[in-house]
Every structure is written in C-alpha cells, then in structure tokens.
Amino acid sequence: MLDNWRAQAACQDADPDLFFPVGTGGPALIQAEEAKAICRQCPVRAECLRWAMDDSRQVTGVWGGLREDERQALKRRERRRAAE
C-alpha cells in the first residue's frame, strides 16, 4: 500500500530512472544531482527519506534528496548520537 505522502511527491511526473543512477562516475553523479534538485523542491522530502531509511531500507537510488552513500553516512551519525 502506498503511503499518503507519495501523492504529494515532487517526483510524481519525473522519469523514475533519473533517481537510480548507474555507477559512481561523472554521468551518474550528474544524474544524481538532477534527481536531488527535484527532491529539494519536494514538500514531502523528509517523509520520503524516513521511508527509505527506516521502513523499506532502500539501498539504491536517490530518496529524500540523498544518495545511498549519503544515507549510510546519516545512519552512522544517528547511531553514534544514540550511543552517546
């Protein structure tokens, strides 16, 4: 079942492939930045990020304005803060 926040997502009309760049080189980074630009305008960015990190544990793609490596770094920071 889709969460209600998805109906408000800025990426509704964007090509889904944009949010799943292949590789880590220049073209993939440019594509990820284009996806992140859409995310920056999104009213439900926080909900999307939380869903990707907690509910579905997405490991690929741009979700909530963050690439997979950025989400992993955020999770590490959150774990360190929780341990303090």
Binding site members for [4Fe-4S] cluster? 11, 39, 42, 48
DSSP of 38-82: HHHT-TTHHHHHHIIIIIS---SS-BTTB-HHHHHHHHHHHHHHH
CA 75/CA 73 separation, integer angstroms = 5
Specify binding-site residues. Answer: 11, 39, 42, 48
Whether 49 and 16 have beta carbons less than 8 Å apart is answered as no
